[in-house]
Each structure stands twice: as structure tokens, then as C-alpha cells.
Structure 1
Amino acid sequence: MTEARAVGGVRTLVGVVALVLLVCGSVLAAAGAVGVWVDGTRRDADGFLTTGARSFHSNGYALSFGAVDMRWTEVAVPVGQDWLGVVELRGDQDVFVGIGAADDVAEYLAEVEYDEVRVREAAIGYRHHPGGPAPSVPAARPIWVAYGTGSLAWQAEEGEWAAVLLNPDGSRVVDSKVSARATVPALGPVSATALLGGVVVLAVGGVVLLSAGVRGRKRPNGQ
């Protein structure tokens, strides 16, 4: 009786392990499949993945999209150039668009009245920062790693960055539609690896589950 209980316990444990493998494999394979589909079907004619355009408004002198940290690289893979690739930001044709180091942008906007954009799910919110006009026209400042009027293109790199919209002459009230797109070169290889890995984990889980079932059927005959 004790041996039968032990065998039953082992079989249950093997079944649980198999179930965990099957669930993890399914999730991994599904995520990889979605990534492969997006990489193969959702790119535009230039090979970019594109967001839709959304409208943003500030009664102040600038719109800031906050700091984006591209230094999370736990596996020593730079998230910037290896993952995002080339990034393009597009606004209205009469708007200055700039990307700079987050600290430099924060210093530039320290005494400026502006609104910081906060997007949560489908809702757009703003955090208002009181102040005065910009200390100079934006293009005159040497803080931008990329900038342009209406749009910019930037080779993403590791660091902490902030994107800002201003009027080219530094005047108040900034209103523009904004869209972004990026090449995301890592999406295809990472998705394919995830899909293949998920299939392998599913296969292993299936073998473990099958072997547990076979052992369970054979055990009574062997006693």
C-alpha cells in the first residue's frame, strides 16, 4: 500500500510537471507566433512598425513625453540599437521635434511652463509644470541627439532619453498630432526563437505526460 501511494505520488508529480511544461510552452509559442506575424505582416513599405497618430496639446511652451530608460540590459544586450533600431517621430509640419538626454532636457525645461504627457492605456493625461517661456529657441540648444521640424530620425542607443515638442520660435501653445515608428530589428529573430522554444517545450511536456500515462497503465500488470 505504501509503495502504491509512493508510485501514485510520483505519477501525480510527473503529471504536474508535464502540465506546467505544456502551459509554458503554449504561452511561449503563442507569443512567438504573434511576434512572427507582426514582423511579417504589420511593417509599412519602409520596413517600420508604426503607431497611429494621436493629438497632443499644451497651453504652455512645450510638450514633454517623459524620460524613457533604455539602459535595462540584464542580459548585456543594448536595448537601443539592437532592439529598436531606427526611430522616427513625426509631428505637424510647423512643430519642432527633439530627442535629448533626459537630464539635459530636464535642465532645459526646468524654468519653462510645459505639459508632460502621460498615456495610460487609451487615455491621455497631462502633468502641468508652471514656469515661463523657453530660455532660447529649441534648435539653438546643443542638447539634441536628433531634431527636426515636423519629424526626426534617430538611431536608438543605450541611455535615458526624452522627446519634446515645441514651436520653432519658442512661442506658447503647442498643438500637434504625433506618431512614431521604428525598425525593431530584433523582433523577427526573438519571435522565431520564442516560437521554436515553445514548440520544443510543448514536445517535452507531451513526452513527459505520455510517459506518465504509459507507466500508470503498465504498473498493475507488473505487480
Structure 2
Amino acid sequence: MLVAGVLLAVFGLGVTAAGAAILVADASQRDGQYAFTDTDRLQTVGHAITTVPLTIHVDEGATVGPYGLDDLISLQLRATPVVPDQDVFLGIADASDVAEYLDDVPHAVIGDQPWDPGYSAGPTYDWGSGMWGSGRDAEAALDEVPGTRAPEPPADQDFWAQSTTGAEQQTLTVDLRSGDWVVVVMNADGSRPVWVDVQVGAHTEVFGLAGPGVLVAGLVALALGLPLILVATAGLGRDIDRDIDRGLGRHADPDDLPGPGAGALPAGVGPDPLRLTGHLDPQVSRGMWLIKWLLAIPHYIVMALLWFALVVTTIAAGLVVLFTGRYPRAWFAYSVGVLRWNWRVGFYAYSVLGTDRYPPFSLAPTDYPAGLDVAYPERLSRGLVLVKWWLLVIPHLLIVGILTGGGAALTRASEYGGAEWNISLVGLLVLIAAIGLLFTGRYLPRLFDLIVGLNRWVYRVGSYVLLLRDEYPPFRLDQGPEDTGEPVR
């Protein structure tokens, strides 16, 4: 049920966002308006700038719903001379005629390969101006074609299907007709160089046809998926509580708990309601950490589903807290279970590397070197739920950003841009520990205590952001495998 709910909700979110974007785009084209790209400035030392041939095949008289093809999509081309008082020519013609006209004439062709320099980025939409950005460097995409002769003035030729010329901005509305077409921009007298600003605009009725249906489909998927998620997470939470009531978790005597966590303070005892433990495996392998991240891939897939459902559950629980002051017990148990699962996988694979024992596929407490629990609050503040997850937690988020975000960066410049790799402070410390483990066979105990303490800080903040508690996370680094509630000096 949870998998079906998550898939439906993800699909619904994507389709709803697409439907909303389509409707916004349709609104920008009302009353015959065109949506234009940003202005690209093109310059060549040749006599012309052309596009590559564009092949179009349409059935004459074909319709889509109530619209003919001419109504369904229409293109406009704009060309504005950069040099004052320079007449510019803008035309479209059959590719064979253009090839004959520009044979042995130096000119530039706008590149068509997606891997060409300047075409590596996709289009972008500016919501403020309603303009589509090309996402490319137009000048870098020009392919210069050499030649030895000068052409006749383009306006004197009779093969143009459509053309316009003048000293101001020239606009050409392109009809949708079958053929191999090339767009040409030149100086009106055929001279060189050519230096123009160009834009491409489109008007289509497809948005108006598809937008409402896409939006409704997305909303229906959300209406089906979100309740499934909430019901499924509540069921999982009740299962966790049943396991705890059998003596596997926080309601058992701490001295009877299995595993190395025995004797640790239960959640809610001491100054902090979250208890995070992590015990170093003395027999941890020298080199297994090299493949642990790969072995944990099944966990990553499951965690992606669990975390999406956790976001939905947290929003729903926040609304319940806002009106009742209580966090639904089943959803609380589920949320803590996801944090527990996340901590086990991190302890094993990437955030500590403290054990070689494969983490269990379970949300409930188990016999494992890494454990996490949060004491259930009987009452929560109704007002804090509105501000604690984003406003009050800002100081902690800055610290967590340093611990888990890009603390260091290595940038490799390239001809077409830059590639950047980031490593967090916790990641750097874990890497140091892993290298030491590889060469010495030992995990430095003090380094292990520090790494666990930093993770404990992160999870305390996480439990607060997820609305699990009202107690503000302490600005305190509690190191070591057990959370004693006292800072290590």
C-alpha cells in the first residue's frame, strides 16, 4: 500500500506541476500572443547566418480537435540589426535553394548537435518576464563555413517562401508546411559581417487543449496516493508500537535490551528526548568500506520511499498538532522508525562506517550496534508547529549545513564550464577514518566518538524539524557511543 501510495503521489505531483506550467504558458499566449525566447546575439564574419535544414511533414487539411494545423502551432522569428541604420534581411526558403545560393559563400550555421558547445543546457523559463531562455551560448554554437565569393542581395532572389527586410526589428510569421526549410539572416545588401539579435516565438493551442486534462489527472493521482500513504504509515507505526510493547524497545527494562546498547538511557531520560547510540565493531574490516555504499543500494531504494512518505506524514501530523496539540501516535512511531532506519544505514555505509553487520530492513528497534529513539510527547505546542521547522531552527540549520553540506569543494575548470565535487565535514572525517582503517586496521576511538557526536547533533535537529518534539535542540556536542546527556570534555 505504501509503495502504491508513494508512486501515485509522485506521479500526481509531477503531472500536477506540469499541468500548472502548461496553463501558465497558455495564459501567456492569450489574444494571439507569442512566447519568445531570450534574445540571442549572433555575429559572423561571413555574409549570412543560417539554421540547419528543418524537415516538416504535415498532411494538408489535417486537424486536431477543432483546430487546424495552422491554428495548432505557429512560429514567429525576430531579427534586429545591432549596427544602427543597417538593413537586415530575414527569410525562409527550401534547403536546396539556400544551399545553391550560398554555395562557396562564407557564412555561419547554427549548430544542431546537443553536445555542441553552448547547447549543453536545456531551456529555462523566466516566470517574471514570461520569456523562455535558450540555455545556450549562441555565438559558441555557430559553425563557420568558408567560401570565396560574395552573394547577390537576398531580396533580389525569387525563391524565398517568406521574407522581410528593413532597418528596424523584422518579424516573420512562419506557416507550417511540408518541406526541408532553412531560415536565413543577412544584411539586406548581402555585405558582411552580419551582427543581429534574434528571437524565436511560438504560439500553440496544444496548451489550452492539454492543460486542464493534465492538471485534473495529477490532482486525481494525488487524491488517491496521499490517503494511501497516510493509512499505510499509520499501519506501520502501529506495528512498531506492538513490537515495542512486546519488550523490544523503549518500554522494556534498559538492562534487558539486546545488543551493545544495553544499559543506555532510554529516550526521555535526561535533558534531551532523542537518544542516539552507535557502538564500534572491534572487528570492523579494513577494506569492506570500499563496497558498503554499493551493498546498501537496496536500502537507498527503500529509504527513498520511506522519506517521501515521511514528508507527507509530517505535513498531515503538523495539521493535526495545529488543531489538537497531539501528534498521532502511529505516525509518530513511523517517523521515528524512518530516522532509526536512516541512522542504521548511515552507521553502516557512509556516515560512520562503524560496523560490518548489514542493517536490518526494519523500522522497529532491533539488536544492532546503532540505535535511535525519541520519547513520545503527550502534548505539543499548537503555535510552535508553524515556526519551529523553518524559522526557529535556522541557527541549527546553518550548523547542520556545515556538518553535512559542501564544506570543501574541488573545481575542475573545463572548456565548456566547470565540474564541482563537494565533501561535507562529516564526510571528510569519515574518509580520514576509512583511510586510517585501510592502512592500520584500527578505527581511531576518539575520531569515532566525534563522528557519532556530530551525527547525534544532526539527528536532534532532524527530530525537531520533523515536529517530533518541542524541546529546542541543545547547542552541545555529546560525543561517544552512548548519549549520556552530558558533553564530553
Common fold, TM-score beyond 0.5? yes
**Cα distance, 1:157 vs structure 2:** 3.6
Say if 2:142 is the partner of 1:122: no
After TM superposition, list the pairs within 5 Å mapping 1:141-180 onto structure 2. 141-149=157-165, 150-180=170-200
- Asked if structure 2 preserves the Cα contact closer than 8 Å seen for 1:43 and 1:50, the reply is no
Q: For 2:200 and 2:16, how far apart are their aligned partners in 1?
A: 28
**Cα distance, 1:168 vs structure 2:** 1.8
Q: For 2:232 and 2:181, how far apart are their aligned partners in 1?
A: 53
1:29 aligned partner:
16
**Cα distance, 1:212 vs structure 2:** 5.5
2:89 aligned partner:
96
- Asked if structure 2 preserves the Cα contact closer than 8 Å seen for 1:61 and 1:133, the reply is no
Say if 2:157 is the partner of 1:137: no
Counterpart amino acid of residue 156 in structure 1? L
Residue 175 to residue 200, structure 1, CA distance change in 2 (3 Å): same
Q: For 1:104 and 1:157, how far apart are their aligned partners in 2?
A: 16
1:85 aligned partner:
74
Counterpart amino acid of residue 155 in structure 1? D
1:17 aligned partner:
4
- Asked if structure 2 preserves the Cα contact closer than 8 Å seen for 1:98 and 1:148, the reply is yes
Partner SS state of residue 145, structure 1: strand
> Which stretch of structure 1 is more off in the superposition, 188-197 or 82-91?
82-91
**Cα distance, 1:35 vs structure 2:** 1.7
**Cα distance, 1:45 vs structure 2:** 7.0
2:216 aligned partner:
196
Counterpart amino acid of residue 188 in structure 1? G
2:323 aligned partner:
none
- Asked if structure 2 preserves the Cα contact closer than 8 Å seen for 1:63 and 1:114, the reply is yes
RMSD: 3.5
1:42-81 Cα offsets, whole Å, 9 max, x none, are: 3487522122323211110101133345559xxx97xx74
Counterpart amino acid of residue 87 in structure 1? Q
Partner SS state of residue 188, structure 2: coil
2:453 aligned partner:
none
1:9-33 Cα offsets, whole Å, 9 max, x none, are: xxxxx42232112111111110110
1:3 aligned partner:
none
Q: For 1:217 and 1:174, how far apart are their aligned partners in 2?
A: 69
- Asked if structure 2 preserves the Cα contact closer than 8 Å seen for 1:62 and 1:167, the reply is yes
Counterpart amino acid of residue 80 in structure 2? G
**Cα distance, 1:208 vs structure 2:** 4.8
**Percent of aligned positions with the same letter in both sequences?**
29
1:145-164 Cα offsets, whole Å, 9 max, x none, are: 21111332222345543211
2:204 aligned partner:
184
Residue 31 to residue 130, structure 1, CA distance change in 2 (3 Å): same
Residue 161 to residue 202, structure 1, CA distance change in 2 (3 Å): farther
Relative to its length, the structure with more strand (as a share) is: 1
What is the TM-score normalised by the length of structure 1?
0.72
Q: For 2:201 and 2:23, how far apart are their aligned partners in 1?
A: 18
Q: For 2:54 and 2:87, how far apart are their aligned partners in 1?
A: 25
- Asked if structure 2 preserves the Cα contact closer than 8 Å seen for 1:48 and 1:183, the reply is yes
Residue 163 to residue 29, structure 1, CA distance change in 2 (3 Å): same
Q: For 2:198 and 2:219, how far apart are their aligned partners in 1?
A: 39
Query: Structure 2: 5+ residue runs without aligned partners?
Result: 112-117, 120-134, 239-489
Q: For 1:200 and 1:71, how far apart are their aligned partners in 2?
A: 36
1:61 aligned partner:
47
Q: Would you say how many aligned residue pairs link Structure 1 and Structure 2?
A: 202
Q: For 1:71 and 1:15, how far apart are their aligned partners in 2?
A: 46
